[in-house]
Amino acid sequence: MIFRLFLLTLFLFLQAAFVWADGTLDFTNDREGVSLYDTKSNNKKINSTLKKIKSNVIVNSYKTALNEQNERNVCAYNLNETFIKGLGQKKVSKSQYEGSIYYLRSQNLIDDVVVQILLNAYKTTTKTIFNNDRDYSHRFLPGTYIQRESLYALMKEFTSKYLGHNCYDDAYRLFHNDMNKIVSLSQNDLKNLYLEANERRVISDEVYNLLERARLANLHYKSVSLKDYYRKIQNLRVQYPLPFENEYSDFVTKANSVNLTHRQQLLAQYSDLQIILMGNLIKKLRTRLESDRIEIWVYDQDGEIEVIPLEPMERFRFALKILRKEMSQLALNTQFRGRAPSYMDLIAASFELGLVAGSELNELGSLEEIWNPKKTWWDKAAFWVRSFGSVATIMIPPPYGFIPVLALVAIEATMGDQDNGIDDGSLF
Amino acid sequence: MKTLSFILLLSLSFSTWAQVFRVVERSENNKQVFKKVKLEDLESSDSFDGRYFKIVLGKSDEALPFDANEDLVLKAATTYHHLTFARNYFVNKLSSDYVESLEKIVVRLELTNQFSELGHFAHDNYEPQFNNALTIPAGKGLASRNIQPWGKEIWFRPSKKVHLSSLDIKNQEHEFEGILRRFREQVHMQTFQRFLSQLILTWTTDNYVLDTESALRTVGATLFLELAYRSQDTVNYVFTRKWYWLDSALVPEIIYHEYAHVALSDYLELTHSTPIIEGMADYFAGKIASSPTLAKKIKKYNTFNGKDALKKTEYRMQFETNEWANTDFVFGLLWQVGEVVGKNQEAFMYELREEITTDSTIRGQLVEGLLTTCRRSCDEPFNKRIQILKLLNNKKL
- What is residue B215's predicted lDDT score, i.e. its pLDDT? 75
What is the full DSSP assignment across A7-69?
HHHHHHHHHHHHHHHH-------SSB-S-TT--HHHHHHHHHHHHHS-HHHHHHHHHHHHHTS
Chain A residues near residue B397 by CB distance under 8 angstroms: 313, 426
pLDDT confidence band for B16 (50 / 70 / 90): low
Give the closest of B383, B393, B396 to A316, CB-based: B393
CA distance A5 to A12: 10
Which DSSP letter does residue A249 get?
A: B
Q: What does the alpha-carbon distance between residue A300 and residue A416 come to, in Å, rounded to a whole number?
A: 40
Q: Range with the lowest mean pLDDT among A297-306, A308-317, B235-244? A: B235-244
Higher pLDDT: A60 or B227? It is: A60
Q: What is the C-alpha separation between A262 and A365, in angstroms, rounded?
A: 11
List the single range of B51-60, B103-112, B213-222 with lowest mean pLDDT.
B213-222
Of B179, B385, B397, the CB nearest to A313: B397
- Total residues found in chain B within this entry: 397
What is the DSSP secondary structure assignment for residue A341, as one 8-state letter?
A: -
CA distance B336 to A122: 53
Task: Count CA within 13 A, CB hemisphere, residue A245.
Answer: 1
Average pLDDT, chain A: 87
Q: How far does CA A163 lie from the centroid of its chain?
A: 26
Residues A232, A272 contacting (CB under 8 angstroms): yes
- Compute the average pLDDT of residues A408-413: 68
Q: Give tens-digit pLDDT for A168-184.
A: 999 999 999 999 999 99
The full length of chain A comes to 428
Percent of chain B with pLDDT over 70: 90
Give per-residue pLDDT as tens, A334-381.
888 888 999 999 999 999 999 999 999 999 999 999 988 777 777 777
- Give residue-wise pLDDT tens across range B172-209: 556 667 777 877 887 777 777 777 877 787 777 766 66
Are A313 and B393 in contact (CB < 8 Å)?
Answer: yes
Q: Give me the percent of chain B exceeding a pLDDT of 90.
A: 64
Please compute, for residue B299, the number of CA atoms within 13 A of its CA located in the half-sphere on the CB side. Answer: 2
Q: How far apart are CA A177 and CA A154, in angstroms?
A: 11
Strands B153-156 and B105-109: parallel
Q: Who contacts B325 (Cβ-Cβ below 8 Å, separation ≥6)?
A: B273, B274, B275, B277, B278
Least confidently predicted of A285-294, A407-416, B206-215, B332-341: A407-416
Q: What is the pLDDT of residue B290?
A: 95
- Tell me the residues of chain A between 388 and 407 that have a Cβ less than 8 Å away from chain B: 393-394, 397-399, 401-402, 405-406
Q: Is the pLDDT assigned to residue A243 strictly greater than 80?
A: yes
Banded pLDDT at B122 (limits 50, 70, 90): very high
Residue of B nearest to A315 (CA): B389
> What is the spatial distance between Cα A75 and Cα B364, in angstroms, rounded to a whole number?
58
Using CB atoms and an 8 Å cut-off, which of residues 268-307 of chain A contact chain B? 286, 289-290, 292
Q: How far apart are the first and last CA of chain A?
A: 29
CA distance A117 to A199: 32
Residues of chain A positioned with their CB less than 8 A from the CB of B225 = 402
| Euclidean distance between the first and the last CA atom of chain B, given in angstroms as a whole number | 72
Average pLDDT value for residue range B77-90: 97
Would you state the pLDDT for residue B283? 97
Beta-bridged to residue A311, according to DSSP, are none
pLDDT at res. B14: 46
> DSSP of B117-143, one letter per residue?
TTTEE--TTSPP--S-EEEE--B--BG
Chain B environment of A360 (Cβ under 8 Å): 382-383
Comparing A22-31, B197-206, B255-264, B329-338, the range with the smallest average pLDDT is: B197-206
CB contact under 8 A, A313 and B183: no
Q: For residues A166 and A174, is the Cβ–Cβ distance under 8 A?
A: yes
Q: What Å distances lie between residue B388 and A178, A180, B283, B332, B374, CA to CA?
A: 57, 56, 17, 13, 9
pLDDT at A307 over 70: yes
**Least-confidence region, from A126-130, A357-361, A407-411, B326-330:** A407-411
Check B179 against A425: CB less than 8 A apart. Answer: no
Q: Which of B318, B383, B387 to mutate to test the interface with A (most CBs of A within 10 A)?
A: B383
Res A244: pLDDT: 84
Mutate to test the interface with A, among B386, B387, B391 (most CBs of A within 10 A): B386
Average pLDDT over residues B279-285: 97
What is the CA angle A86-A87-A91, rounded to 5? 110
* Residue B371, pLDDT above cutoff 60: yes
Q: What is the pLDDT of residue B375?
A: 96
Question: Which of A351, A368, A409 is best to mutate for the B interface (most B CBs within 10 A)?
Answer: A409
What DSSP string runs through B258-314? HHHHHHTTTTS-SSS--HHHHHHHHHHHHHHHT-SEES-S-TTTB-S--EETT--PP
Angle at A366 (CA atoms; ends A361, A369), nearest 5 degrees: 155
- The share of chain A scoring above pLDDT 70, in percent, equals 86
Cα angle B301, B305, B306 (rounded to 5 degrees) comes to 75
One-letter amino acid identity for A359? S
Residues 6+ apart with CB under 8 A from B394: none
Q: Is B225 helix (H, G, I), strand (E, B) or coil?
A: helix
Identify the contact set of chain B against chain A, taking CB-CB distances under 8 A. 179, 182-183, 186-187, 190-191, 193-194, 197, 214, 217-218, 220-222, 224-225, 315-317, 363-364, 367-368, 371-372, 380, 382-383, 385-387, 389-390, 392-393, 396-397
User: Residue B143: its pLDDT value, please?
Assistant: 87
Residue numbers in A near B367 (CB within 8 A) = 311-313
pLDDT of residue A324: 95
Please name the residues in contact with B101: beta carbons below 8 A apart, sequence gap of 6 or more: none
Interface test with A, best of B333, B378, B382, B385 (most A CBs within 10 A): B382
The answer to whether A202 touches A230, Cβ cutoff 8 Å, is: no
Question: 3-state SS string over A400-413?
Answer: CCHHHHHHHHHHHH
Mean pLDDT over the full length of chain B: 88
- What residues in B contact A399, CB-CB < 8 Å? 217, 220-221, 224
Report phi then psi at A195, rounded to 5.
Answer: -65, -45
Nearest to A312 among B194, B225, B371 (CB): B371
Residues forming beta bridges with residue A261, ordered by sequence position = A255
A312 touches chain B (CB under 8 A): yes
Of B218, B317, B389, which is closest to A398 when you measure between CB atoms? B218
Collect all residues with Cβ–Cβ distance below 8 Å to A189 and sequence separation of at least 6.
A140, A141, A142
User: What is the reported pLDDT for A18?
Assistant: 47
Alpha-carbon separation of residue A134 from A59, A217, A258, B366 (angstroms): 44, 21, 35, 79
Residue A399 and residue B221: Cβ atoms within 8 Å?
Answer: yes
The continuous run of DSSP H or E covering A275 comes out as helix A272-290
Cβ–Cβ of A426/B183 closer than 8 Å? no
List of residues 6+ apart from A151 with CB closer than 8 A: A143, A179, A182, A183, A193
Q: What's the pLDDT tens digit per position in B314-363?
A: 999 999 999 899 899 999 999 999 999 998 999 999 999 999 999 999 99
Q: What is the ipTM of this complex?
A: 0.81
What's the angle, vertex CA B170, arms to CA B169 and CA B172, rounded to 5?
A: 105
Determine the pLDDT at residue B219. Answer: 79
Identify the weakest region by mean pLDDT among A76-85, A222-231, A397-406, B27-36.
A397-406
pLDDT on residue A384: 76
The rounded percent of chain A whose pLDDT value lies above 90 is 62
Instruction: Work out the pLDDT band at B221, boundaries 50, 70, 90.
Output: confident
Specify the pTM.
Answer: 0.82
User: Are A262 and A254 a contacting pair, CB within 8 Å?
Assistant: yes
pLDDT, residue B10, reads 46
- Per-residue pLDDT, averaged over A294-322, amounts to 94
Alpha helices, H only, chain B: 2-14, 70-88, 97-101, 171-204, 212-230, 232-239, 252-263, 275-289, 329-341, 345-352, 367-377, 381-394
Higher pLDDT, A323 or A406: A323
